[in-house]
């Protein structure tokens, strides 16, 4: 008795893989981590939202969470279908100005909280930043492992948004003294900047044969 080969197996052999199955093993595991991590980040934002005191931080949290939810839905849709999502990816826009205050000031040593009563805007902002940074790492790994071109593009499009969100949070932290940025002396900075020279670049060949 002859047994019919599974359809998926025949499709893979002939290269005719349906869009829903156009995912490699590493991609499946890594995108699974991305989706689970996105849910965890949004859950973290939800749990923190009730403790926020500063209206500015609350606005950042709410805007970022709403953007994350939309981005999560787009990623999930193309992961399930293997095709372009029903709406294009978007770019996150922060409201903060790009002004960092440099230098270190004396401050109390950091230590773990002993109770939830110690939750404040400083710890909330740090938790938000850690969650966004963690998500960017998972999305980078998943994008590098994705065989599906749509999923790869959607994940790659998400990375600048992670960077923008993290930058927005760090600017907020710096403005309120939660995040201090040390800076090298001008001499040391210039020495490091001048420690590299431009690489020689060969002109592009036109591809046309020169006349004999």
**3-class state of residue 17 by DSSP:** coil
Residues in CB range of 121: below 8 A, 6 or more apart: 52, 53, 54, 57, 176, 178
d(CA 205, CA 202): 9
Q: Which residues of 39-76 are buried (b: 16+ CB within 10 A; e: fewer)?
A: eebbebbeebeeebebeebeebbebbbebbeebbebbb
Report CA-CA distances (Å) from 33 to 27, 39, 116: 10, 10, 28
Report CA-CA distances (Å) from 101 to 56, 60, 171: 18, 20, 9
How many Cα atoms are found within 13 Å in the side-chain-facing hemisphere of 2?
A: 2
Helices in 50-197 by DSSP H: which ranges? 55-81, 121-145, 149-175, 186-193
pLDDT of residue 9: 45
Chain-centre distance of CA 161, in angstroms?
A: 6
Per the DSSP assignment, residues forming a β-bridge with 203 are: none
pLDDT of residue 26: 80
Give pLDDT tens digits along the chain (212 positions): 443 334 444 454 545 776 667 777 888 889 999 999 999 999 999 999 999 999 999 999 999 999 999 999 999 999 898 889 999 999 999 987 888 999 888 888 888 999 989 999 999 999 999 999 999 999 999 999 988 889 999 999 999 999 999 999 999 999 999 999 999 999 999 999 999 999 999 888 766 665 55
How many Cα atoms are found within 13 Å in the side-chain-facing hemisphere of 160?
A: 10
- Helix H, strand E, coil C: the string for 99-113 is CCCEECCCCCCCCCC
d(CA 71, CA 160): 12
Q: Where are the domains of the chain?
A: 18-99+121-176
Of 34, 36, 59, nearest to 159 by C-alpha is 34
pLDDT of residue 22: 74
Residues in CB range of 173: below 8 A, 6 or more apart: 122, 125, 126, 129, 179
CATH architecture under which domain 18-99+121-176 falls = Up-down Bundle (1.20)
């Amino acid at each position: 008795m002859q047994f019919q080969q599974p359809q998926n197996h025949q499709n893979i052999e002939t290269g005719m893989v349906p869009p829903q199955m156009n995912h490699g093993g590493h991609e499946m595991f890594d995108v699974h981590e991305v989706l689970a991590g996105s849910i965890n980040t949004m859950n973290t934002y939800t749990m923190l939202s009730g403790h926020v005191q500063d209206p500015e931080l609350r606005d950042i949290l709410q805007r970022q969470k709403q953007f994350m939810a939309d981005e999560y839905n787009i990623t999930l849709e193309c992961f399930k279908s293997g095709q372009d999502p029903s709406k294009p990816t978007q770019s996150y826009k922060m409201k903060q100005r790009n002004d960092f205050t440099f230098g270190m000031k004396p401050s109390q040593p950091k230590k773990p909280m002993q109770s939830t009563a110690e939750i404040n805007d400083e710890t909330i902002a740090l938790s938000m930043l850690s969650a966004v940074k963690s998500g960017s790492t998972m999305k980078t790994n998943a994008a590098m492992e994705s065989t599906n071109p749509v999923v790869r593009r959607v994940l790659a499009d998400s990375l600048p948004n992670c960077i923008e969100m993290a930058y927005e949070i760090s600017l907020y932290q710096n403005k309120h003294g939660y995040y201090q940025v040390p800076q090298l002396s001008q001499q040391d900075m210039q020495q490091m900047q001048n420690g590299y020279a431009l690489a020689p670049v060969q002109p592009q060949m036109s591809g046309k044969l020169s006349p004999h």
